[in-house]
Chain A
Amino acid sequence: MNEAFTRSEKLAGLFLFLTLLIAVAALLVIGQGKAWFKSQRTYLVKFRQGYNLQPGSSVKMFNTEIGKVTNLRISRLTDRLEVVVTIRVLAEYADLICQDSVAEVQSPTLFGSEYLEISPGSPGKKPPIAEYGTIPSKEHKTLADYLEEFQPEDSLRRAKQILINIAYLTEKLKIHEKKLLTSLNNFNEVMASVLEAKGSLGKLLMQTDFYGRLELSLTRLESVLKDAAQITGDLKNTTRDMPALAQAVSQEVQNVKSILADIKQGSQEFPELMGSASEAARGGTEVVDALKANPLIRLTLPKQPPSKTIHVEPRNVP
């Protein structure tokens, strides 16, 4: 019995075979591009919130994509709810993810979407994190957080307090300066008396008034010095706080500078984006114009009415 295939059957078979071959080749090419066939490792990262991360968001190290976010879920295991982000990272970079690596969500300046940045650990010094282990995370700071941290009101209040203290001290110094000057004047007077009585020291020594005034002056001088020491102490305490405050202010200024730099960068990107958009729109218009120019299409298009010179009649004017 002859069971040979007909020519049509052979052709159909060949066609199916070729289709299958092309499909497999396409799958391989796409898979290669998407790293489907590369070995990957799964890790967990925990955050207080999801920061707009989504499955498919990039995982980067040194601004280079090394994996993807595959899942996000809210964990109820502890009293404090947290978002557990599951990521898959290419196995070739697994050695860089160590115990001292830190995962942080990064936001684009103005456009784009959030991604997860993992800082490289210290291979050799710190052990690598095992698969399905949790990478330490750092909460992402939003602009609101920066502003909250900055606490401008608190900083201003502290600065105001310092100024009040300085004013108070200055005032006190002024009072004691007067006392000191008075004492010095008294002392001058005594010295003048001594100098005037230089021919008769015994007579001078018998002047009880001199001793009294000298004692008074010394007592006052002692009081002034005591006050001065106290003031110096106060000043020291205040100045001790100053570097910390200055450092805090400096830190906040740096933060604000960083935010401003981000905004500036974003504003630089914006015209570029608008340029691209208008370029694309122009391109679209040109394509439509070109299509309209084609006689075949032009024949089937409804004819555009001519534009007219508007005539404004008196009845149409309010």
Chain B
Amino acid sequence: MSLKFWVLLGLTILLAYGCGAGPDPYGQQVNRTTTLAIQGQQWFSQGDLRRAARDFGRALEISQSIDYPAGVAQQLNNLGAVALEQGNLETAQELFNQALSLNQEIPDWAAASTNLANLATIAQKSGNLARAGEYLQAALAAAERSGANTARGRILCQLASWYLAQQDPGSAAVLLTQARPLATTPALQGTLNHHWGRLRLRQGNHLAALKHFNQALAADREILERAAMAADLFGLAETYEAQGELDQAFYYYSRAFDVYAALGKKETSSEKNQPAS
């Protein structure tokens, strides 16, 4: 058989395969939902909450119209995230609860663990640390049930953060050590390093804190997670301040403030993290 024959045969098969595309209207609508949700996530990451809410809202409408519960639950959660960023805690809680119910029905335990973690964030933001702890325990159980390492790693990191807020660095260190092998994505690596940085800062190990905050910044920059980047810069500034290097501290505070300002969060960031002790 000549080469020409094989080339022609290959082209014929490829053409026949290409012409064989069947219509998949449901799949197309699901793809549209995904596209809108990704757009919304990009707006959310850039701090443009209005556009993020618009895209999540459209994705929600399409998901509801085609009876796509996973999409509905995801968009309810994402709209809750927008409400939370806007400081509308009641709405956010309502939306996270709706998403949680759906994810439990589907069931999608990884997504349910995220819903529970978000509810914990609301509780923590409201000053109810005990309630936040309960949510995080439930989130950890859901993440373990899902079997998804990333989900588990994410919850472990948040739980460690909660222990840090409870002035319990020992428990935080244990959880962060557990989370280390699970951090396989840049997002999770950024989160893990940030919390390690906070822990080391609390322990007075400034050199290690700087190393972790820089690693966190690099990871968060890779995925352009601006709010996380700002938190990393703030951590660096706090570390330099604790070291007595005020010039450097001022430099990083300015950079953190610039990122917050770009996100529309111009309030002082001191409430964001625990002050260096």
Residue of B nearest to A305 (CB): B38
Give the residues from 142 to 166 in chain A that come closer than 8 angstroms, CB to CB, to chain B: none
A314 within 8 A of B: yes
B21 adjacent to A293 (CB under 8 Å): yes
B239 within 8 A of A: no
A15 to B162: give the CA distance in the assembly, Å. Answer: 82
Q: Which of A292, A295, A305, A316 contacts B227 (CB 8 A)?
A: A316
Residues of B close to A294: CB separation below 8 A? 18, 21
A309 adjacent to B115 (CB under 8 Å): yes
B118 adjacent to A316 (CB under 8 Å): no
A304 to B42: give the CA distance in the assembly, Å. Answer: 14
Q: Which among B1-9, B23-31, B169-177, B240-248 touches the partner chain? A: B23-31
A271 within 8 A of B: no
Residues of A close to B35: CB separation below 8 A? 304
A315 adjacent to B228 (CB under 8 Å): yes
Q: Which of B15, B22, B74, B231 contacts A309 (CB 8 A)?
A: B74
Q: Is the interface of A mostly helix, strand, loop or mixed?
A: loop
A289 to B231: give the CA distance in the assembly, Å. Answer: 40
A310 adjacent to B77 (CB under 8 Å): yes
User: B87-110: contact bitstring with A at CB < 8 Å (1 yes, 0 no)?
Assistant: 100000000000100000000001
Residues of A close to B110: CB separation below 8 A? 309
A318 adjacent to B267 (CB under 8 Å): yes
A318 to B265: give the CA distance in the assembly, Å. Answer: 7
Residue of A nearest to B234 (CB): A315
Q: How many residues of A contact B (CB 8 A)?
A: 24
Residue of A nearest to B165 (CB): A314
Residues of B close to A297: CB separation below 8 A? 18
Q: How many residues of B contact A (CB 8 A)?
A: 57
A318 adjacent to B31 (CB under 8 Å): no
Q: Which of B81, B87, B157, B265 contacts A312 (CB 8 A)?
A: B81
Given contacts A304-B35, A314-B124, is CB(A295)–CB(B161) below 8 Å? no
A307 within 8 A of B: yes
Residue of A nearest to B154 (CB): A311
A3 within 8 A of B: no
Given contacts A315-B273, A318-B265, A318-B271, is CB(A310)–CB(B78) below 8 Å? yes
Residues of B close to A302: CB separation below 8 A? none
Interface residues of chain A, those whose CB is within 8 Å of chain B, are 285, 289-290, 292-297, 304-318
A304 adjacent to B117 (CB under 8 Å): no
Give the residues from 12 to 52 in chain B that come closer than 8 angstroms, CB to CB, to chain A: 14-15, 17-18, 20-24, 27-28, 31-35, 37-38, 41, 44
B38 adjacent to A317 (CB under 8 Å): no
Residue of B nearest to A318 (CB): B265
B214 within 8 A of A: no
A243 to B18: give the CA distance in the assembly, Å. Answer: 80
A304 adjacent to B31 (CB under 8 Å): yes
Residues of B close to A293: CB separation below 8 A? 21-24, 27-28
B44 adjacent to A310 (CB under 8 Å): yes
Residues of B close to A285: CB separation below 8 A? 32
The 10 sampled A-B contact pairs (Cβ below 8 Å) are A294-B18, A306-B34, A307-B37, A309-B99, A310-B44, A311-B118, A313-B121, A314-B121, A315-B194, A317-B84
B14 adjacent to A307 (CB under 8 Å): no
A304 to B77: give the CA distance in the assembly, Å. Answer: 21
A309 adjacent to B111 (CB under 8 Å): yes
Residue of A nearest to B52 (CB): A310
Q: Which of B23, B73, B81, B125 contacts A314 (CB 8 A)?
A: B125
CB distance from B218 to the nearest CB of A (A): 16
